Amino acid sequence: MLGPEHLLTEPDMVAGYVRDWTGRWTGHTPAVVRPGSVEEVQEVVRICGEHSVPLVPQGGNTGLVGGSIPHKGEVVLSMRRLDRLGPVDERRREVTVGAGVTVGALRTHARRAGLEYGVDLSSRDSATIGGTIATNAGGMNVVANGDTRRQVLGLEVVLADGSVASRLGGVAKQSTGPDLLQLMVGSEGTLGVITAARLRLLPRLRSESMVILVGVQTLGEGLGLLGPGSQALEFFDRACLETVVGHRGLSRPLPGDPPFYILVETTSTPDLPDRLEAVVDRTLWAYRDSITETLNQIGVPVKLDVAVPLGRLDEFAVAVAGLGLEGQVYLYGHLAEGNFHVNVLANPDPEMVVDQVLGIVIGLDGVIASEHGIGVAKSVWWQRSTDRATLAVNRQIKDAFDPGRILNPEVFWGG
């Protein structure tokens, strides 16, 4: 049906689709299928359902929780060919795009029309709209624009039986019962295959934003830099700075050696206490933007993506340090959301790291996944830490949408 060039079975052809971005997981598959239209997606899903062959929807394969690759021989349903950019409705500030469009391509498309897409992340040139909706991705600008969920006005989704549920009409407001399509946001390919999305766009900022890097002793101090004009409020620790300076040829941005660095992008000048060292320059984003790739060049990190209440940021950082984890520990993340990306390199027991760090998170009333999702990396912890009532409803939702368990069966429920 798809033609030979869109049905890949040779090991060297499928290799890039069965290994995750971090290199932590490698699976196997009988085939990668690359449909080019919603009708082709429907047909693939229908055939898989008929033969009880599970499949894994895949976008840019930049996911960090092992959810985008076939762990147990599932078919890979690559969505990248659905990359149509619809015309921007400048008056209503909306656009409809295919699930395979990258975040970067959408951002460029919106800018050409004098508008912005509200989500940005370092994986922008590979991560797709379908993947970012399926994981409810966050990124750098959540503080100003909200997460991906906040941008979604409507979706087109292929369900497990091959039928299509669609709401792309662009009606701004609707009061017609529970919104089934919103359930797809964050469902990580387990409830349906997103084929297109109607997205909200934003006006361009009226005033130019400035980028400031500040050295602080505590993260609480960093949070004080949040202001009405904040477009981003990010942090990284001394270990991250040392690593990007050492591996990226970046110069030391500040004279001192503070334990934490706060990167603020803002349209309003923050009140900076005199004792804090600060530097202003747009290129400062390079320090923050290059952390993930640099760590991955050094090794395969244990990656955790958690969030704690804003009043407990330093308590969390101190507790993680108190674990005395073997190897190198790196902390960075999206400070305004209480988000920590805890990365650990060269530790011999990744499972133990996960258990210890997530134990602290739960103890502080935090969440075990802030923006990357559950995938396979946290399925056991998700089942363990979610209350019984919520888990039971989630199981009923899975049963209703995917009774044959053909949609990404290892995510959430595997392990």
Q: Which residues bind ligand FAD (CB under 6 A)?
A: 21, 56-64, 67-68, 79, 99, 121-123, 126-128, 130-132, 134-135, 137-139, 188-189, 193-194, 292-293, 371-372, 408, 411
**Of 57 and 366, which has the nearer Cβ to ligand FAD?**
57
- What's the min distance (Å) between Cβ of 26 and ligand FAD? 15
The listed partner (ligand MLT, ligand FAD, none) that binds 94, CB under 5 to 8 Å by sort, is none
Residue 20 contacts residue 131 (beta carbons within 8 Å): no
Residue 222 contacts residue 234 (beta carbons within 8 Å): no
**Of 161 and 349, which has the nearer Cβ to ligand FAD?**
161
**Of 378 and 398, which has the nearer Cβ to ligand MLT?**
378
**Of 148 and 266, which has the nearer Cβ to ligand FAD?**
148
Cα-Cα-Cα-Cα dihedral of 109, 112, 113, 116, to 10°? 60
Instruction: Take residue 114 and report the two structure tokens written for it.
Output: 């004098």
- What's the min distance (Å) between Cβ of 298 and ligand MLT? 13
In this structure, how many other beta carbons lie within 10 angstroms of the beta carbon of residue 208?
7
- What's the min distance (Å) between Cβ of 363 and ligand FAD? 24
Residue 55 contacts residue 406 (beta carbons within 8 Å): yes
The listed partner (ligand FAD, ligand MLT, none) that binds 60, CB under 5 to 8 Å by sort, is ligand FAD
For residue 240, what are the contacts with CB-CB under 8 A and spacing of at least 6? 261, 287, 291, 330, 331, 332
- What's the min distance (Å) between Cβ of 411 and ligand FAD? 5
Residue number with the smallest Cβ distance to ligand MLT? 292
Residue number with the smallest Cβ distance to ligand FAD? 131
- What's the min distance (Å) between Cβ of 204 and ligand MLT? 24
Residue 59 contacts residue 99 (beta carbons within 8 Å): yes
**Of 80 and 276, which has the nearer Cβ to ligand FAD?**
80
Q: Compute φ and ψ for 19, nearest 5 degrees.
A: -110, 135
Residue 127: closest CA among 96, 148, 141 = 148
**Of 27 and 130, which has the nearer Cβ to ligand FAD?**
130
Q: Is 156 exposed, middle or buried (0-12, 13-18, 19+ CB in 10 A)?
A: buried
